[in-house]
C-alpha cells in the first residue's frame, strides 16, 4: 500500500480509501477558508459569492428584509446580501470601526454609499434597547430576518448585544408565524431558524441547512497552509509548565546529537523539555534548559524508570539516535505498549516495533521518511497519524489526509528529521495529532524555505530551529 514515489498518487490513493468528509466543524471550515486564501483565492470574492448565494435563496420571498450583522465576516456576508436585495434594513451589532476585516469593511462602505438613496437603511447598535422600534414592528406582518451575526468564528456563550437580540427574535418567532428566519453559514447561538444557507460543506452545528458552493476549490481542504497554523493552541497560558512538557527518549553510545536537536526544537514551543538517555549522551549535554535523566549502559534500557519519568510529561518523542539492536527493540516495544499518553515515534524506534502487536491508537504520530515508512506494517489505514516525509509531505490517518508543500532540498541534511520530531511533539502537547503533524511539517519546511532565500542550501538543522519563531511570528 502507498509505496509509490509519486506523492500526489499516494495522496489520491489514501483519499480514495478514507473517503470524503461530508460534515465538518466550524474550526475545520475556518482552516479551509484561510487555506483558500493561502492558495491565492481572494476573500472579497468568497464573501461576494457567499452573500450572492444567500440572496439567490431568499430574493423571491415576500416581506420586508431585516439583516442582523455581526462585526466579523459573517456580518460581511450580510452586507453583501443587503446590497443584492437592494431593499433592506441592516442592523450592525457594533460600530463601523469595530468591523474586523478589510473585506467586511469594504462591503459596509458600499452600503453606506447606497444608503443615501434610502433603499438600504443602516443602524449601528451597542445595546438591544436601541432597536425596540424594530422589535415592535416584527410583532406582526411578513418579515424575512437574516442572521448574519456570528458564523464559524463563534466561540462560547453569546455576549451582548447578540444574546438579547437572539432571545428577542426567538420570542417574536413564537408570536408572529409570518416571520421567516434565515441564518448565514452557521446559526447564531440557539436562534430558532427556518433555513440556514451554509457554504462549501455542511457544518456539524447546522440544523436545517442547504449547502451552497462559493468557489472554494477542494484543494483548499487538501493542502496544509496558514489556516492550520492559525488554528493551533500555542503558548496560551502564562503559568510555567502549562504550555506543555515534552520528553525526548533517544540517543545511544553511537549517536548523541539527535535527541539534543529534537529537544532544542521542542524548547521553542513548550515550557519543559526532558531528555532521557544513556550517561554517555547525557554528560555531553551542556544546555541548561533541559531536564536530564541518565541511564547506565550503551543503549536506553530500564522501561519502568522511563515510564515513571514519562508520566510527568504530556508527550514523549521516542527514537532519535536510539540505535537499532535487540536491546533497543525490547525497550521500545515494552515502552510504547505500556505508555498511554501522546507519543511521537521517529527514526530508529520506527524500525524496531513489532507492528502486529502495536495498538495504532489516535494519540500516536509516526514521522517516517519513505524508507522508514516501509517498516510500518498495517492492514488498513490506522487511527494513528502518519507524517510521511518527502519532497511533498503526506499527513494521514483513517479520517484525514493532507499534503504539505513547504520545504526544499537543503533539508536532506542529517538532523532535520530530529528537528521535525521535536517540533511535532511540542505542538502535539496542546493540539490534536492530525493538525500537529500537518503544522510541524509546514513550519519546519517554511523555516527551511526562508533559510534557502537567505543562505541557499547551506543552512543547518540548528538554523531551522532558530527560524521557527520567525515562522510563528509571521503567521500567528
Ligand atoms: N469559506 C467560507 O466558509 C467563507 C466564510 N465567510 C464568512 O465568514 C464567517 C467567519 O468569519 P469570522 O470573522 O471568522 O467569524 P464570525 O463572523 O463568525 O465572528 C467573529 C467575530 O464575532 C465575535 N464573537 C465570537 N464569538 C462570539 C460570541 N459568543 N459572542 C459575541 N461575539 C462573538 C468575535 O470577536 C469575532 O470578532 C463564516 O461563517 C462565513 O459567514 C466568508 O465571508 C466567505 C467565505
Ligand atoms: K449566522
Q: pLDDT (tens digit, 9 = 90+) per residue, 220-241?
A: 999 999 999 999 998 666 676 7
Ligand 1 near 73 CB (within 6 A): yes
Instruction: Name the grid cell of 208.
Output: 436545517
Please indicate, yes or no, whether the overall pTM of this predicted structure exceeds 0.80.
Answer: yes
Q: How far is the CA of 275 from the centre of ligand 1 (A)?
A: 42
Chain segment 175-190, per-residue pLDDT in tens: 999 999 999 999 999 9
Q: CATH 3.40.50.10260: which residues of the chain?
A: 42-215
In the chain, which stretches have pLDDT less than 70?
A: 1-4, 235-238, 240
pLDDT for 392: 95
pLDDT for 418: 98
Q: In the 8-state DSSP scheme, what is residue 159?
A: P
Q: In the 8-state DSSP scheme, what is residue 438?
A: H
Nearest CA to ligand 1 atom 11: 73
Q: Is 152 labelled a binding residue?
A: yes
Largest separation between any pair of C-alpha atoms in the chain: 85
What is the pairing mode between strands 393-396 and 401-404? antiparallel
**Dihedrals phi, psi of 406, to nearest 5 degrees:** -80, 160
Q: Is 77 labelled a binding residue?
A: yes
Closest CA to 355 of 340, 363, 339, 366: 366
Cis status, amide bond into 468, omega within 30 of 0 = no
Residue 411 burial (10 A CB sphere; 0-12, 13-18, 19+): buried
pLDDT for 236: 67
pLDDT for 412: 85
Q: Is 263 labelled a binding residue?
A: no
Q: CATH 3.40.1190.20: which residues of the chain?
A: 6-20+228-473
Ligand 1 near 93 CB (within 6 A): no
pLDDT for 476: 84
| Whether 5 contacts 181, CB under 8 Å | no
Q: How far is the CA of 333 from the centre of ligand 2 (A)?
A: 50
Q: How far is the CA of 31 from the centre of ligand 2 (A)?
A: 18
- CATH of span 42-215: 3.40.50.10260
Ligand 1 near 199 CB (within 6 A): yes
Residues linked to residue 382 through DSSP beta bridges, in sequence order:
none
CATH T-level topology, domain 6-20+228-473:
3.40.1190
Ligand 1 near 47 CB (within 6 A): yes
Instruction: Name the grid cell of 142.
Output: 411578513
**Dihedrals phi, psi of 3, to nearest 5 degrees:** -105, 10
Q: Is 346 labelled a binding residue?
A: no
Amino acid at each position: 500500500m502507498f509505496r509509490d514515489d509519486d506523492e500526489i498518487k499516494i495522496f489520491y490513493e489514501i483519499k480514495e480509501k478514507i473517503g470524503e468528509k461530508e460534515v465538518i466543524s466550524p474550526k475545520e471550515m475556518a482552516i479551509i477558508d484561510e487555506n483558500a486564501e493561502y492558495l491565492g483565492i481572494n476573500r472579497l470574492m468568497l464573501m461576494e459569492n457567499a452573500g450572492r448565494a444567500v440572496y439567490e435563496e431568499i430574493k423571491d420571498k415576500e416581506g420586508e428584509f431585516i439583516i442582523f450583522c455581526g462585526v466579523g465576516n459573517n456580518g460581511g456576508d450580510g452586507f453583501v446580501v443587503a446590497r443584492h436585495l437592494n431593499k433592506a434594513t441592516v442592523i450592525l451589532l457594533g460600530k463601523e470601526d469595530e468591523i474586523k476585516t478589510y473585506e467586511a469593511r469594504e462591503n459596509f462602505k458600499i452600503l453606506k454609499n447606497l444608503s443615501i438613496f434610502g433603499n438600504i437603511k443602516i443602524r449601528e447598535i451597542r445595546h438591544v434597547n436601541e432597536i425596540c422600534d424594530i422589535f415592535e414592528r416584527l410583532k406582526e406582518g411578513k418579515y424575512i430576518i437574516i442572521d448574519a451575526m456570528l458564523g464559524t468564528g463563534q466561540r462560547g456563550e453569546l455576549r451582548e448585544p447578540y444574546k438579547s437580540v437572539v432571545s428577542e427574535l426567538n420570542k417574536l418567532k413564537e408570536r408572529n408565524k409570518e416571520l421567516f428566519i434565515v441564518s448565514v453559514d452557521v446559526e447564531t447561538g440557539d436562534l430558532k431558524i427556518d433555513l440556514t444557507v451554509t457554504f462549501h460543506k455542511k457544518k456539524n452545528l447546522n440544523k436545517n441547512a442547504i449547502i451552497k458552493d462559493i468557489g472554494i476549490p477542494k484543494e483548499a481542504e487538501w493542502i496544509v497552509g496558514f489556516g492550520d497554523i492559525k488554528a493551533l493552541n500555542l503558548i496560551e497560558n502564562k503559568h510555567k509548565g502549562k504550555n506543555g512538557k515534552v520528553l525526548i527518549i533517544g540517543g545511544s553510545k553511537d549517536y548523541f546529537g539527535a535527541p539534543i536537536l529534537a529537544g532544542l526544537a521542542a524548547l521553542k514551543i513548550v515550557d519543559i523539555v526532558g531528555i532521557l538517555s544513556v550517561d554517555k549522551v547525557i554528560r555531553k549535554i551542556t544546555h541548561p534548559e533541559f531536564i536530564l535523566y541518565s541511564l547506565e549502559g550503551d543503549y536506553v534500557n530500564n522501561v519502568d524508570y522511563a515510564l515513571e519519568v514519562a508520566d510527568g510529561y504530556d508527550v514523549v518523542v521516542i527514537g532519535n539516535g536510539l540505535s537499532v539492536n535487540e536491546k533497543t527493540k525490547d525497550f521500545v516495544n515494552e515502552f510504547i505498549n505500556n505508555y498511554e499518553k501522546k507519543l511521537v515515534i521517529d527514526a530508529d524506534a520506527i524500525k524496531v516495533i513489532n507492528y502486529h502487536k502495536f495498538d495504532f491508537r489516535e494519540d500516536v504520530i509516526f514521522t517516517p521518511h519513505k524508507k522508514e515508512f516501509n517498516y510500518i506494517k498495517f492492514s488498513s489505514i490506522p487511527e494513528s497519524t502518519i507524517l510521511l516525509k518527502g519532497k511533498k509531505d503526506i499527513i494521514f490517518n483513517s479520517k484525514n489526509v493532507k499534503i504539505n508543500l513547504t520545504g526544499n532540498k537543503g533539508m536532506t541534511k542529517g538532523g532535520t528529521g530530529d528537528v521535525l520530531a521535536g517540533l511535532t511533539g511540542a505542538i502535539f502537547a496542546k493540539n490534536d495529532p492530525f493538525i500537529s503533524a500537518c503544522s510541524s511539517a509546514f513550519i519546519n519546511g517554511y523555516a527551511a524555505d526562508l533559510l534557502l532565500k537567505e543562505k541557499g542550501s547551506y543552512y543547518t538543522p540548528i538554523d531551522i530551529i532558530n527560524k521557527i519563531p520567525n515562522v510563528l511570528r509571521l503567521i500567528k
